[in-house]
Chain A
Amino acid sequence: MTSTTAGERTPPARHEAGLPLALVGMLLFISSEVMFFGGLFATYFSARAGFPGEWGAQSMGAPELEILPIALPITLILMTSSFTMHFAVQAIRHDRVGAMRFWLAITLLLGVTFLIGQVYDYTTLGFGISDGVFGTVFYALTGFHGAHVFGGAIGLTILVARAAGGQFSSRNHVAVEAVSFYWHFVDVVWIGLFLTLYFLR
């Protein structure tokens, strides 16, 4: 081995109790992401609270945001993908490698569909990021959420590739669990965003 730093010394064997290291790390990382989106949500509510006129897309002379035909369907798609991700995790916990591959691929597909839907939604809105404070916070929030979905999709792609290489089993699939934590988090953020932007208005 060439990866050790001092030649003959190797790390001592460790036995782990409780959550694996990678999951603890992922949970901590997610808590920092919660604070990141907390900051962005705070800018949204601050802008909304201090806005002099009527709040929303109308304030920039654009049509009011509609949940159809795009926003609601892509929301349902992303929520569904959380379930399919969970099916993938359940499958590998019971060593059903084929089922895991299938559900991972479906999850990835749904995630990509969400992103395409969101980009299409952007083209129909009729306002831009520089048209007013609502436009700024709208695109910042949905854009950064979209970037996180994209990050999750990269994670899923890596999982699909590793699954194709036969790397996972019921005893060894911490990466699947970690990506699933992240994916559920991204889904929950979107539900918050959807309710805030399209319902609370």
Chain B
Amino acid sequence: MATTTLAPEAPAYQRSWVIEWLTTVDHKKIGILYILNSFVFFFGAGILALLVRSELAVPGLQILDESTFNQAFTMHGTLMVFLFIVPMMSGFGNYIVPLQLGAPDMAFPRINALSFWMLPLGGLLLISGYLFGGAAAGGWTGYNPLTQERFSPGVGMDLWIMGLTVVGTASILGSVNFITTIFKMRAPGMSLFRMPIFTWTILVTQTLILLATPVLAAGLIALFIDRNYGGSFFDPSVGGDPILWQHVFWFFGHPEVYIVILPALGVVSEILPVFSRKPLFGYHAFVYATVAIGLLSFSVWAHHMFTTGVVFLPFFTFMTALIAVPTGVKMFNWMATLWRGSLVFATPMLFALGLISMFLIGGISGVMMASAPIDFHLQDTYFAVAHLHYVFFGGAAFGVFAATYYWFPKMTGRRLNEFVGKIHFGLIFLGFNLAFFPMHELGIQGMPRRIADYSPDAGWTVMNMLSTGGAFLIALSMIPFVVNVVATLINGERVGDDPWEGNTLEWATSSPPPAYNFDRLPPIRSERPMFDLRHKHDPAVHHELATAEAES
């Protein structure tokens, strides 16, 4: 065979797309894998939620017994937190952060692939308990001594521990990757205070993951030793302490709440300026508020433990209420951004506004429970369930949908149908409030969480019926969403590289972006390089750019 010299432009050896997606180290493909994987677990955990709500619709046990009910809410909570919402935001982070930084990829592409592929593995470990005599049934918080061998003898509990350890390890590796990327891979001109807000929230979030998740891992391993090797970390009969689990779990678990919500708040802060045609009001204040929330989140864990009687109530009440201050700063940023803007009510904007209003309700109920006397009444009631869903679903999950509608054109070059998107938003907004608002009242009336049945004389039936109806309305809203995604992928409107007139660098490349993202970058002289590029002949913008140029 004759020797030939390959031209530099010669196409490389082509693999089948299956191998390509299974072995990819491209941050964009890995990001999409994260997002798809998270949606699969979202739908699975959603079905479990429908089972729970169906059981609770009317008094009496109809479709589940106590044991399967406990498994259903345990796996619902665990999967939603650890395999939907956190990896979903890591998925958007994976796709968007390198683009927003003007970087060709993540810092460690192969570790990136590893930390993705550990997720489905961990998720399968978690749910495989169903194949071996029943999944874990100790709640997503896994309190001791309920999760000890004596009270949870099944192997499902051990699989839960192992699955969470794998998922936690994956997220630690991911956080190392994100933080290194953000500190080391920024394009020239992209100083820290020119980074887009979403990237800032990812930076703070990943720092929380880096520092909080290992503590959970230590606790999980301690629990595993107790269950399998006769250890006594949490066994009071030989000097252990079951309350210790609560400390360890919530030392992780409360930062986890901000791990979940901060990227969603970042998504809102990307969307509001674009659809208000204004810069974000108070960029620096927003960044400092995000960092402050991250720092404070390590000093509030014991507000989950007020009724244990072993924590210093005034301190944790004070610190918890204090978190409302930087959160309020963000609310103020958003309101002032909207004020006198030219608002465009596209679907991403609707979800962002929905998030702000729902997260406000969740924040207010959170401050209520931060007060120890009120918490003593509401601990472990449906009020807490209402609160956490207003934050996790009304907050974080709405953020996921906002991000999906906002960045779908970036990922595919096609825009999701606006009309169907608005139907989706209307249904989910209605269903969400119908499902979770009555839970506030149920909790105040004293309905405990995690019960499979209640008395017909308790007076809770109507509100439980409403709540179940709302849950099915949420499920219904997934039909237009999925149809919209599939139909758009097949035959959606092609909208070019920058349909929303975005501000940040992900809109500077083609949609979808090529491998390694950019051939050239616009000059980065503010946190809105694309706005500057579009308006560089506007005298005001020109003056600001010249000033920034002189300073840098």
Contact = CB atoms under 8 A, between A and B. Distances in A.
A35 interface: yes
Contacts of A16: 184
A10 interface: yes
Interface stretch (B228-236, B328-336, B350-358): B228-236
Contacts of B218: 36-40, 42-43
B105 interface: yes
Contacts of B225: 129, 136, 140
A39 B10 contact: no
A136 B231 contact: yes
A28 B239 contact: no
Interface in B418-469: none
A192 to B, nearest CB: 15
A122 B282 CA distance: 59
A132 B175 contact: no
Q: When A and B form their complex, which 6 residue pairs have the shortest distance between CB atoms, in order from nearest?
A: A130-B230, A39-B218, A6-B515, A36-B214, A133-B239, A136-B231
B233 A133 contact: yes
Nearest to B229: A129
Interface stretch (B63-71, B205-213, B289-297, B503-511): B205-213
B403 interface: no
Interface string B181-198: 001100000000000000
Nearest to B252: A39
Contacts of B29: 5
B176 A28 contact: yes
A128 B214 CA distance: 26
Contacts, number: 142
Interface stretch (A45-53, A90-98, A152-160): A45-53
Contact of B215 (A1, A39, A46, A137): A39
B217 interface: yes
How would you classify the secondary structure of chain A's contact residues: helix, strand, loop or mixed?
Answer: helix
A128 B104 CA distance: 52
A25 B514 contact: no
B12 interface: yes
Given A21-B108, A35-B215, A144-B221, A130 B229 contact: yes
Interface stretch (B75-83, B241-249, B379-387, B523-531): B241-249
Interface residues of B, number: 56
Interface in A1-26: 1-2, 4-12, 14, 16, 18, 21, 24-25
Contact of A50 (B211, B239, B251): B239
A39 B214 contact: yes
A31 interface: yes
A132 B221 contact: no
B107 interface: yes
B256 interface: no
Interface stretch (B20-28, B50-58, B408-416, B537-545): B20-28
A75 interface: no
Contacts of A198: none
B269 interface: no
A104 B537 CA distance: 61
15 contacts: A11-B104, A31-B210, A32-B172, A32-B176, A32-B213, A35-B211, A35-B214, A39-B218, A40-B218, A42-B247, A46-B241, A136-B231, A137-B233, A140-B231, A140-B233
B12 A130 contact: no
A47 B515 contact: no
A137 B219 CA distance: 12
Interface string B98-119: 0000001101100100000000
B12 A12 contact: no
Contacts of A4: 12, 515
Contact of A136 (B20, B213, B232): B232
A150 B214 CA distance: 19
A6 B514 contact: yes
B165 to A, nearest CB: 11
A194 B105 CA distance: 43
Contacts of A46: 241, 244, 247
A133 B233 CA distance: 6
Given A39-B217, A136-B233, A32 B240 contact: no
A23 B155 CA distance: 40
B222 interface: yes
A83 interface: no
Nearest to A44: B233
A102 interface: no
A12 B241 CA distance: 55
Interface string B1-13: 0000000111111
Contacts of A133: 232-233, 235, 238-240
B500 interface: no
A18 B239 CA distance: 49
B180 interface: yes
Contacts of B25: 5
A121 interface: no
Contacts of B233: 43, 47, 133, 136-137, 140
Contacts of A129: 225, 229-231
A7 B214 contact: no
A43 B244 contact: yes
B14 interface: yes
B217 A1 contact: no
B261 interface: no
Most buried by B among A10, A36, A51: A36
Contact of A52 (B180, B215, B239): B239
Contacts of B214: 32-33, 35-36, 38-39
B386 to A, nearest CB: 31
